[in-house]
Structure 1
Amino acid sequence: MNDTSLKANFLSFTGRAKILHMTWFAFFVTFLVWFSHAPLLLAIQESMGLSDQQIKTLLILNVALTIPARIITGMLVDVYGPRKTYSAMLVATAGLCFFFAAATSFEALALARFLMGFVGAGFVIGIRMISEWYPAKQLGLAEGIYKGMGNVGSAVAAITLPTLAIMFGGEDGWRYATAVTGVIALLYSIVYYKSVSDTPVGSTYFKPNKSGGLEVTSKRDFFFYLIMNIPMYGALAVLTWKVSGLGLLSELSANIVYGLLVAIYLFQARQIYNVNREIFHTPVEPVLQYNFKQVAILSLAYAVTFGSELAVVSMLPLFFKDTFLIPMSLAGIFGACFAITDVLSCPSGGFISDKFGRKTSLVILLSGAAVGFFAMSQIGSDWPISLAVVVMVISSFFLGSAAGCVFAVVPLIKRRLTGQIAGMVGAYGNIGAVLFLTVFSLVSPSAFFMTIAGGIALAAITSMFLEEPKNTLAEVMPDGTIQLIEVH
C-alpha cells in the first residue's frame, strides 16, 4: 500500500470514510435506543405507577443480556459479515423499542428492557467493519472515531427525549418519544444495508473455519479460554443476586437461574471443545497461530476502562450534589462532562496508539487513568469545585483514551476472528460495570474511586505483557494459499 493511499480524510463522505461515518451512525442509533428509557424513567414511573424497586430492576435488566449478546454478535458478524448483521440488529432494535413503548404492565416493560440488552452488542459489529476498510496505520484513529461518536447516542437520548415527550404531551408522551427512536432505527437499517459493503472491492472477507466458539491455536490457550469465560457467568449471577435482593425473584427462582448458568457454561465448554478438538491431535502451523494472552489482557483493560466509565457516569451527578451541595441540574451537567469527553478521548487514544505503539500507549494511558482516579478518591467538600471538575475531566480523558487504545489492538490479533475477539473484550466491559456498580452499592464514593484506581493499576501492569502486533498476520485464502495482512 503506497503512502498516498494512507492519507486519511476522515471528513469526506467517499470510500472508506463513508463506511466509517455510516457505521458510527449505526452504533449511535443502537445506543440512542438502548438508553432511551433512562431520561424518561420518572415519566414512566408516574405513567405506569411503578415502585422505586421496579425502576431499579429495569436499569439492571437493561444491561443483563449485553454480556452474552456481545459474544453471540461477534460470532454472527464473523460468519455473515457486518453489513447484514448490523442491518438485522437495527431491525431487531426497532422491534424491541416498539415493544417497550407499547408495554402496559411492569412484566412487559421488564421483558422488553431485558431483551433490549441485546442492542448493546451492536458496537461489536462496527469494530470488524472498520478493520476491513482501514489499514493498520490508521486503524486506531478510525476505531476511536467509531467508538467515540457512537457513544454520543446515550447523551443525545438524555438531551432530546424528555423534550420530545413534553412535545407529544400527556402521560403517554414517553411512549411516543421512545417509539421515535425505533422508527429511526428501522429506517436506518434500510439505508445502511443499501449503502455499505463488507470489504473494499477485491478484498477477501475471511470467515472462521467453524462456528460455536472462538478458535484457539494451542492446548494452553484452550484451557485459558475456558477460564476467561467464567467471569461472564459470574457477572450474570451477580445481576441475578441483585434482582432477587430487590424482592423480585424468589430464592427458588434465583437458585434455578444459578443452575441454568452452570448448565449453559458446561454446554458452551463442550461447544468450544468441538470447535477446537483438532488442536489436541494436530498442532497449528506457527504462521497461523495467535496468542490468546493478547485477548485476555485487552479484556481486562476494557473491563476497568469501559466498566468504570459506565459505573461512574451513573453516580457522578449525585456525588457532586452531595459533596458540594449544588443544584441537581448543575451536578448533572458536571456529571455529563465525564461521558462527553469520550468524543475526544477515544479517537485520541486510537491516534496515540497508531503513532507511538500499541503496548506503550496502553500502559501509559492506563497508568494516567489510575493516578486520576486516585486523585478523585481524595475529592472532598473542602476542594474548590473547579479543581474537582478538572480532575474528573482529566481522569475521564485518560480512561476514554485507554479504551480507544484497546480497540486499536483488537482487530490486529486474528482478522477472521475479529468479531468474536471484539465480542469477548466488549463483554468484559459490561462485566467490569457490574463489578464496579456492585462495589459502589457497598462502599463510600471515596472507596469506590480508590477501587477503580486499583483495578486500572492492575490492568496497566498486566498490559506490560501485551505483545506489540507483528508486521503481518496470516490468513488462509479460499483456494488454500496463505495471505499476509499488514498490521504494523
Structure 2
Amino acid sequence: MLKEVFQSLRAGHWPTLLGAWLHFEISFMVWLLIGAMSIAISEDFSLSASQKGLLVGFPLLGGALLRIIVGPLGDRLGAKVVGLAILGLEGIGLLLGWLGGTSFESMLGIGLVLGFAGASFAISLPLASQAYPPTHQGLAMGVAGIGNSGVLLAAFIAPRLAEGIGWHQVFGIMLVPVMGTAFLFFWLVRSGSMRDETVSPKKDNIGLILRKGLQDPVMYWLCFLYGVTFGGFVGLSSYLPIFFHDQFDVGMVTAGTLTALCALAGGGARPLGGFLADRYGGLTLLQGLFLIITTLCLTSGNLDHFILTYTIILLIMLCLGFGNGAIFQVVFYRFKSIMGTASGFIGAAGGLGGFLLPSGFGWLNEKTGTFSSGFFVLGLVSGLAGISVMIFQRSIRVTKHKSIPEM
C-alpha cells in the first residue's frame, strides 16, 4: 500500500504539493494558537464556561468568514498570490497578540484576525488539486490536508512556551515560522494545472464564480457534511485543552499533550481517508464513518473515567480525520472546474462548524453542568449526516472512481 502511495505522489508536481502542505500546516498552527493557550488566557481573565467557548471559537469564525471570499479570489487571481497575502494577515494578527490582548474583548478581536489563517484551506487544497491528475485527487488533497496536524504543533509547543515565558510572547515567536513559510511557499509553488479544462475559471469575474457554486444544492449538502467532520475536528482540537483541564483537572502542558495526540490521529487519518475514497468511493466511506462517530458520541455519557473517555475521543478524532479526506474526493468530482470556490464555501462551513462546537459545548456546560450534553448533540448531528449520505447514495449511480456527477 505504501509503495502505491509513493508512486501516486510522483505522478504530479510534488514541490507544489509540499508548498501547499506547508502553508496549511503553519497556518493551522496559527489558527488554533489561542485554543492551545486557552487555559492560561482563561485564568488570567477569569472567564466563565461560555466565555471560554467563545474565546477558542472566535478564531474559527474568522477563518470561516474569510474562506468564503478567498476561494473565488484564488480562482480569479491565482492561489499563489492569495496564499502569500494570507500569510501577511497572519503576521498582523500575531503582532496584535504579542503587543496587545489585555482584555477578553480584545482577545476576541485578535482571535478574529488570527482566524484569517484558517482561510489557508481554500488555497492549499486547490493548489494540491491542480498539481495532480484526476486519478490521484483524493491522495493529493489528503496530503495537503495533513496540514490539519498544525494543531499538533500548536497544542504541543505553545503551552510549554506559555508556561515558561508567558502567552503574550508566544505570539511574537510564532512570527518566525510564518515568515519562513512565506519564503518557501514563494519558491516551491508552481502555477498551472495538470488537468485538461476547456474553460478557465479565472476568465470569469468573482460574482459569476460565486453564483456558479451557489446555484447547486449539492454544494450546501457538502457544506453540511464538512461542517460535521472538519468542524468536529477543528472544534474539538481547539476546545479539548479546556475540556481536559476542567473535567479531569490536568495542567496546561499535559492538556496540550493529550490534545496533540488526538490531533495527530485525526490529521494523519486525512490522507488515508482520501486514498481509500479514491479506491472505494467517498460516499461509501462516509456512510460508515458517520455511523461510528454517532455511536461513539452517544456512548460517551459517562465522562468520569479518564482512560475510557480519552479512548473514545481519540477514536472520534480518527474518524473525523478519515471523513475530512473522503469528502474532498467527492468535492473534486462535482466541482473540478471551480475547485477554489468550492473549497472556499465548503471550508467556510467547516470553520463555522468549528466555531459552533466550542461555543455550544461551553454554553451547554454552563447550563447543564456537564460536558456529556455537548457530545450527545454532536452524536445526533453526525447521525443526521450519515442518514443524508445514505439517502443521497441511493439516489445516484456510484462507480469506483466517481462518487458524484459533475456539475
TM-score above 0.5: yes
1:407 equivalent in structure 2: 328
For residues 103-133 of structure 1, the C-alpha deviation after alignment (integer angstroms, 9 at most, x for no partner) is: 2754655433222222211111111111111
The Cα shift of 1:175 comes to 3.9
1:207 equivalent in structure 2: 201
Alignment: residue pair count: 388
| Residues in 2 aligned to 1:95 and 1:307: alpha-carbon distance in whole angstroms | 25
TM-score, with structure 2 as normaliser: 0.82
Question: Does structure 2 retain, via aligned residues, the 8 Å contact 1:87–1:190?
Answer: no
| Residues in 1 aligned to 2:192 and 2:89: alpha-carbon distance in whole angstroms | 24
| Residues in 2 aligned to 1:438 and 1:103: alpha-carbon distance in whole angstroms | 24
2:35 equivalent in structure 1: 38
The Cα shift of 1:215 comes to 4.9
Q: Structure 1 residues 434 and 110, CA, compared in 2 at 3 Å: closer, same or farther?
A: closer
Q: Which stretch of structure 1 is more off in the superposition, 391-400 or 12-21? A: 12-21
By relative contact order (CA 8 Å, sep 6+), the higher-ranking structure is 2
| Residues in 1 aligned to 2:232 and 2:89: alpha-carbon distance in whole angstroms | 28
Matched to 1:293, the amino acid is P
Matched to 2:376, the amino acid is M
The aligned runs of 1:22-421 (5 Å cut-off) are 22-41=19-38, 50-52=45-47, 58-103=55-100, 105-106=102-103, 109-147=107-145, 149-165=146-162, 169=165, 173-200=166-193, 206-208=200-202, 209-212=204-207, 214-215=209-210, 225=215, 292-316=216-240, 327-328=250-251, 333-376=257-300, 378-381=301-304, 385-421=306-342
| Residues in 1 aligned to 2:176 and 2:377: alpha-carbon distance in whole angstroms | 41
Larger CA Rg, structure 1 vs 2: 1
The Cα shift of 1:373 comes to 1.7
Identity %: 25
Q: Which of 6, 10, 15 is matched with 1:9 structurally?
A: 6
The Cα shift of 1:153 comes to 1.5
Question: Does structure 1 retain, via aligned residues, the 8 Å contact 2:132–2:195?
Answer: no
| Residues in 1 aligned to 2:349 and 2:194: alpha-carbon distance in whole angstroms | 34
Question: Does structure 2 retain, via aligned residues, the 8 Å contact 1:95–1:182?
Answer: no
CA RMSD of the aligned region, Å?
A: 3.5
Secondary structure of the corresponding residue to residue 309 of structure 1: helix
| Residues in 2 aligned to 1:214 and 1:414: alpha-carbon distance in whole angstroms | 11
Q: Which of 373, 377, 388 is matched with 1:451 structurally?
A: 377
| Greater fraction of residues in helix | 2
For residues 222-268 of structure 1, the C-alpha deviation after alignment (integer angstroms, 9 at most, x for no partner) is: 6xx5xxxxxxxxxxxxxxxxxxxxxxxxxxxxxxxxxxxxxxxxxxx
Q: Structure 1 residues 321 and 71, CA, compared in 2 at 3 Å: closer, same or farther?
A: closer
| Residues in 2 aligned to 1:138 and 1:202: alpha-carbon distance in whole angstroms | 11
Structure 2 gap ranges (5+):
none
Secondary structure of the corresponding residue to residue 13 of structure 2: helix
The Cα shift of 1:11 comes to 10
Question: Does structure 1 retain, via aligned residues, the 8 Å contact 2:273–2:325?
Answer: yes
Q: Structure 1 residues 366 and 162, CA, compared in 2 at 3 Å: closer, same or farther?
A: closer
Secondary structure of the corresponding residue to residue 9 of structure 1: helix
For residues 370-415 of structure 1, the C-alpha deviation after alignment (integer angstroms, 9 at most, x for no partner) is: 2222222x3354x6x4444333322222222112111122222233
Matched to 2:134, the amino acid is A
The Cα shift of 1:425 comes to 1.0
The Cα shift of 1:79 comes to 0.6
| Residues in 2 aligned to 1:471 and 1:127: alpha-carbon distance in whole angstroms | 22
Structure 1 gap ranges (5+):
1-5, 226-291, 474-485
Question: Does structure 2 retain, via aligned residues, the 8 Å contact 1:33–1:182?
Answer: no
TM-score, with structure 1 as normaliser: 0.69
